[in-house]
Structure 1
Amino acid sequence: MLKFATAAAAVFFLLTDVAHAQLSETEQRIVAAVKQRTPAALELLERSVRINSGTLNPEGVRAVGEIYRAELDALGFKTRWIDMPPSMKRAGHLVATQEGGQGKRVLLLGHLDTVFEKDSSVPLWERQGDRVRGQGVNDMKGGNVIMIEALRALKKVGALEHANVEIMFTGDEERTGVPLQMARADMVAMGKRANYALSFEGSIKRDGVDTASIARRSHGSWTLHVKGKAAHSMGVFSAQSGYGAIYETARILNAFREQVIEPALTFNPGLIFGGTDVSYNNDTATASAFGKSNVIARDAQALGDLRYLSPEQGERARQKMQTIVSTGNLPGTSATISFTEIYPPMPPTEAGRTLADLYSKASLDAGLGRIDIFDPSLRGAGDVQFVAPYTVGIDGLGAQGRGAHSDDEDLEIASIERGAVRAALLIYRLTQSASR
């Protein structure tokens, strides 16, 4: 709490200092440097998008990483590749560091992988007027390019040399490697060193206004196992034969729906299967079941996700769900539930709100309009959540597009320049503030 209070105060005074300022001479040159690179930035985006980098295509992920690594090397960053164990079946992460020795420490986050694997039928790159359709063009190679172009503009005007900036491009954001603690250990260490974390997932427009995120809900899973008595269906509902596993599964899921509802909390049963015998293959996310309509189901399973905004809300939800599973079981049945947290929650903080105000001020000063805070219940999970307990974070600084994760994922080309201008000004103002 002390760190958050200190951070909030620091951002407040920084915001106060620039509250009545427009762009300084240096900031005007930063904006000009971004705009001068607009055609080249689109070319950089195209080069990276034309390489398939689905999470399970480690060669493609690394190839995209090498493109960005060359750009960062040219900007004077010290770059390195962090390999993951072969058993994890992931490409690893690209890390870059600029130790300037003064000002606040800023951590920048992106990811190299996409949801589109090598067998995807989605075109790699398809120009459509002022938009581009392609694999990961919005989520999040557009954001990666915005980050690099913002840093390039700072470098050109001499504002990067003394800044303290660390960068991590993960190679498994879409399908995180296991064990999770190993996959994100380096990121957490970087987060603990940073005063601010800026993540470049796609920006979202709501009611005509651009937004950013200072809160993101957790991403976790739950597995429900239910047992009944296999018997002839003529005895269903009797004391001897019971109700069977499928009826008990239905009771439990409906009780979840009726009793566990809270604002910003969701729990979705994405797969249900039951019968006399059932099995599930985690590698292929497929289930199989054997059963007959005249036999009471002996086994059933339900797999779902769980999303919450704070650790306290998550604990309440788990306790309520556990109580429903373990009490009030239908005759002849029993059930157990297990939980796994993949992405921790990122609850809103005052420090985060103040950082969002500073980002909005940079946008307004550049003539690009205000930035509103996005409703976390309308967004999924992201890497910034792993560092949120240790620093002040903001997400959604990337490109604007439509249909992320779908066959029609696209990007508004003009959002690359807008995003790079905003990010460059924010990074400049943060790194020019006093050291802690």
Structure 2
Amino acid sequence: MLALALLLLAAPAADPAPQLSAAEMRMAATVDREYERSVALLQRLVDQNSGTTNLPGVAKVGEMMAAELRDLGFTVTWKPLPQTERAGHLIAVHAGRPGTRRLLLIGHLDTVFEADSPFQRFVRKSEEASGPGAGDDKGGMVVMLAALRAMRDAGTLDRTNIEIVLTGDEEDSGEPVALARADLIAAGKRADVALDFEGLAVEDGRDMGSIARRSANDWTLTVTGKSGHSSRIFSPAFGDGAINEAARILAAFRTELPEPDLTFNTGVLAGGATAAIDPSGAKASAQGKSNIIPAQAIASGDFRTLSEEQTRRVRGKMEAIVARHLPGTDARIAFKPGYPAMAPTAGNRALLDRLNAVNRDLGLAEMPPLDPLKRGAGDISWVAADVDGLVGLGTASRGDHTPDEVVDLSTIRRQGKRAAILMSRLGVERR
């Protein structure tokens, strides 16, 4: 027992925590003992490219994760989704003790780095490593497996009801979204707790707890005006032209929309005699001349909110601003919902309290709630309306979504311990 206690924490901590049970001490020791195995698995996952549109690559990462989960006693299903032009999702189920809480674990197989990216390989430097998806989210999946292996070795996995959904298109969801997220939403309705293994947020050297994620909603503004010789612009007969009117509407967004927890952005803008944005939303084209009043303008962007009520309110304000278009012009705004919001509910706060109880017993510092403006949208939001949840159980990293992505390998240890003990405690409670 003393040997296990001495192995308990890799990070600096207080004396061996007296509140840990023998099984929990064994879990902590297993995470430490298997650390290099976890790092080796992370390297194999990272070295397999799984950019969202590299469908074979995503499937191969799914196969690697499936093998690990089958070894832990999970029933694994690969759900292909050719209808959405994405690889599919991995779904794994472990049946535990009847009548106890059902845990949903969420992660994703894909990365933002496609097969033609020059950023392809895992490179370790002591307790850090760079590589595509090393933190987001392959590091998170490794933490998940480290925790589950520790639970198996301590005998707590057998009694725990767990469903795992690893999506293959978190970074760029397939369409239609209703089909792309149907399995995850259904799993959320079955679950009592959702735990998202995306990255751990760290501020000023302090681990943070995440109980909320904001939504992501796209919009497209289309403005038309009367074309003619530029000498007639601003006259009653011709009005302001499409570009000036689009600029006026966007300026009104800036002055009238701001409120707490909201951000909004114009990402692409074009105007002229003709103007268009391609179906991908990434490229715009326009034609015109300096002496012609522009007949068309188009802009697209997004806005992010902390609740679905806020989404509805902001959308209504944007529609009202656009409806006030000036004479001689017409304006329309269309919305494309993306990720819903995960509001900071009382249930989510209670789960963070449970995690902080684990931290106290491990001798780790309390994790304050993270400002949701500092997290992007994510898959747990699709189940947030049905089940309480926590975000950020994966590894800490920096430079995510860039060729400078670097994962803090040491966080596999403390995150694996936190997750294993939290899941073991939640998993024995009655529904």
Q: Same fold (TM over 0.5)?
A: yes
Higher mean displacement: 376-385 or 365-374: 365-374
Distance 1:114 1:260 in 2: 33
1:14 aligned partner: none
Is the 2:215–2:377 contact (alpha carbons within 8 Å) kept by the matching residues of 1? Answer: yes
1:7 aligned partner: none
Q: Secondary structure of the residue that 1:368 maps to in structure 2?
A: coil
Q: 1:57 aligns with which of 49, 54, 62?
A: 54
1:348 aligned partner: 344
Q: CA deviation at 1:284?
A: 6.8
Distance 1:211 1:123 in 2: 29
Q: Secondary structure of the residue that 1:364 maps to in structure 2?
A: helix
Distance 2:337 2:294 in 1: 30
Cα RMSD of the aligned pairs, angstroms, is 1.2
- The one-letter code matched in structure 2 to 1:80 is T
Quick check: 1:93 aligned with 2:120?
A: no
Q: Secondary structure of the residue that 2:45 maps to in structure 1?
A: helix
1:96-245 equivalent positions in 2, closer than 5 A: 96-102=92-98, 103-245=100-242
1:394 aligned partner: 390
Distance 1:342 1:263 in 2: 20
Q: 1:72 aligns with which of 52, 69, 73?
A: 69
Distance 1:299 1:175 in 2: 29
Distance 2:414 2:279 in 1: 41
Q: Secondary structure of the residue that 2:90 maps to in structure 1?
A: strand
Q: Deviations over 1:336-394 (max 9, x none)?
A: 00112111111111111010011122122112322111111111100000001111111
Q: Deviations over 1:227-286 (max 9, x none)?
A: 011111111111112111110011001101101110101110100011111222223721
1:29 aligned partner: 26
Is the 2:268–2:282 contact (alpha carbons within 8 Å) kept by the matching residues of 1? Answer: no
Distance 1:413 1:207 in 2: 18
Q: TM-score, normalised by structure 2?
A: 0.94
Q: Percent identity?
A: 48
Distance 1:195 1:206 in 2: 29
Quick check: 1:40 aligned with 2:37?
A: yes
Quick check: 1:333 aligned with 2:329?
A: yes
Unaligned runs of 5+ in 1: 1-19
- The one-letter code matched in structure 1 to 2:208 is T
1:385 aligned partner: 381
Q: Deviations over 1:78-114 (max 9, x none)?
A: 0010111x24210000000001133211000000000
Is the 2:133–2:405 contact (alpha carbons within 8 Å) kept by the matching residues of 1? Answer: yes
Q: Secondary structure of the residue that 1:137 maps to in structure 2?
A: coil
Distance 1:132 1:33 in 2: 22
Distance 1:179 1:240 in 2: 44
Unaligned runs of 5+ in 2: 1-16
Q: Secondary structure of the residue that 1:95 maps to in structure 2?
A: strand
1:422 aligned partner: 418
Distance 1:393 1:282 in 2: 34
Q: 1:409 aligns with which of 388, 405, 410?
A: 405
Higher mean displacement: 165-174 or 365-374: 365-374
- The one-letter code matched in structure 2 to 1:427 is M
Q: Deviations over 1:300-343 (max 9, x none)?
A: 1110101001111111111111111011x233111000112111
Q: CA deviation at 1:129?
A: 2.9
Q: Secondary structure of the residue that 2:87 maps to in structure 1?
A: coil
Q: CA deviation at 1:21?
A: 6.9
2:371 aligned partner: 375
1:265-276 equivalent positions in 2, closer than 5 A: 265-276=262-273
Q: Secondary structure of the residue that 1:240 maps to in structure 2?
A: coil
1:259 aligned partner: 256
1:15 aligned partner: none
Q: Deviations over 1:13-43 (max 9, x none)?
A: xxxxxxx971111100110111110000000
